[in-house]
Amino acid sequence: MHNSSPSHPSHRPSEQPSAGGKAVLSVSGLTKEYRVYDKPEGLLASVTGLFHRKNRVVEALKGVDLEVGKGEFVAMLGPNGAGKTTFLKLLSGIITPTRGTARVLGHVPWERTDDFRRRFALVMGQRNQLWWDLPAAESFRLHKEIYRIETRAFERTRDELVDLLGVRKLLLQPVRDLSLGERMKLELVAALLHEPEVLFLDEPTIGLDVVAQHALHRFLAHVQAERQMTVILTTHYMKDVAALCQRLVVVTEGSILYDGSLGQIVDRFTSHKIVTLDFDAPPEASRVERFGFPAEIRGPQVILRIDRTRIADALPGILREEGVRDVSVEDVPLEEIVAQLFRSGTSDAAGISAPTGTPR
């Protein structure tokens, strides 16, 4: 979905100072609550509910604070219902908050000024905003007229984006005849035609195959670096984060659990590394237990979890073991770290420890 159309010609006025000084996006105490009606089961209960409704308040966001600078590519990672989409809807001005403040490019988003709407774009992976029965080329021309983009600039930008994604042959096909991956590529082209300074992406790779995901990753990385756009990406796919983002914000139940780099999250929330040994033949369990660390045997492969501070001392002895053909040392997968954060529901977790109940 793209932002609403401006009513004046597109131009680039000098950027207003944001609430965070140099921050393109600044959020303080942002809260969004919904009042929902729990419908009881049964005919009698339903009739009673017509006169005595039982409502409850759901907090989609709980006092979120966040600042994002110019040119940052930030991933918001969280399970379904964490508040990611609500956050983007607030920042794009689709909905208003219950409490709190936000400024994007110096504007209050829900005031929906023309200048603000010209300078950002929102793409939602689960919603198609191209005209369903028309070719994408027609939707692009409509976009040109809505934003009053100069013809040469429009054609130059369109051709560049279309060629980067390799979708020129799709421009004249009705959108309804395209695959999900093809539609998403064209959605991104449409969103970037007016050269927004801020791009909000809500799960753009959801439902896409590996090839389509890889193509979008390369495209987004190139365009963001070339234009120095500020990009906020919501996702629950770790591949999106690893391929695109330097900064990770982990959210669950409407609150931020972690905000920092990928490297920092590994250092902060893990206490061990994973050492994988390949043997000539599957080893006996008693032989593996001698290593003194939690271990998992998968045929001729043994996976050890070793305290980060003991790696240098432990590896020489392990490598002297007869029959070891190969060894690799890796950090705990990001998926495992984030899953632990989701389960703990707090940023004060001591870290992900090696499993208990195995020899050390």
* Highest mean pLDDT of the ranges 45-54, 96-105, 121-130, 303-312: 96-105
Reported confidence tier of residue 6, pLDDT bands at 50, 70, 90: low
Q: What is the pLDDT of residue 38?
A: 72
> H or E element: which one contains 75?
strand 73-77
The band of 236, judged by pLDDT with boundaries at 50, 70 and 90, is confident
- How high does pLDDT run on average in the chain? 85
Mean pLDDT of 118-144: 89
Would you place residue 13 in the very low, low, confident or very high pLDDT band (cuts 50, 70, 90)?
very low
DSSP structure string for 321-335: STTEEEEEEEEPPHH
With cut-offs at 50, 70 and 90, classify the pLDDT of residue 9. very low
SS3 content of the chain, % helix, strand, coil (to 5): 35, 30, 35
Q: Let me know how many helices (H) and strands (E) the chain has, helices first.
A: 12, 13
136, 152, 173, 175, 223 from 162: Cα distances, Å: 11, 15, 14, 15, 12
Instruction: Please give the distance of CA 119 from its chain centroid, rounded to a whole number.
Output: 21
pLDDT > 90 fraction of the chain, expressed in percent and rounded: 53
The CA-based angle 270-311-246, given to 5 degrees, is 40
- Please tell me the predicted confidence (pLDDT) of residue 151: 96
Instruction: Give residue 247's pLDDT.
Output: 93
Choose the most confident range, by mean pLDDT, from 109-113, 232-236, 267-271. 109-113
| Predicted local confidence at residue 351, as pLDDT | 52
- Please check the confidence at residue 126 and state whether its pLDDT lies above 50: yes
Whole-angstrom CA distances from 45 to 14, 24, 35, 49, 56 are 59, 50, 20, 6, 17
**What percent of the chain has pLDDT above 70?**
88
- 10: pLDDT confidence band, cut at 50, 70 and 90? very low
Looking at residue 242, its pLDDT comes to 87
Q: What is the pLDDT of residue 17?
A: 37
In a 13 Å sphere around the CA of 299, the CA atoms on its Cβ side amount to: 2
Question: What is the predicted pLDDT for the residue at 11?
Answer: 37
* More confidently predicted of 341 and 63: 63
Long-range contacts formed by 52-59: CB under 8 A, 24+ apart: 57/33, 58/33, 58/34, 59/31, 59/32, 59/33, 59/253, 59/254
Cβ 253 vs Cβ 58: under 8 Å: no
Question: What's this model's pTM, rounded to 2 decimal places?
Answer: 0.80
* Amino acid at residue number 271: S
Residue with tokens 């198609």: 128
For the segment 243-253, the average pLDDT, to the nearest whole number, is 91
**How is residue 345 written in tokens?**
């529901």
Greater model confidence, 40 or 276: 276
Predicted confidence (pLDDT) at residue 72 exceeds the cutoff of 50:
yes
Q: Is 99 helix (H, G, I), strand (E, B) or coil?
A: strand
Residue range 131-137: average pLDDT? 92
* DSSP label at residue 204: T
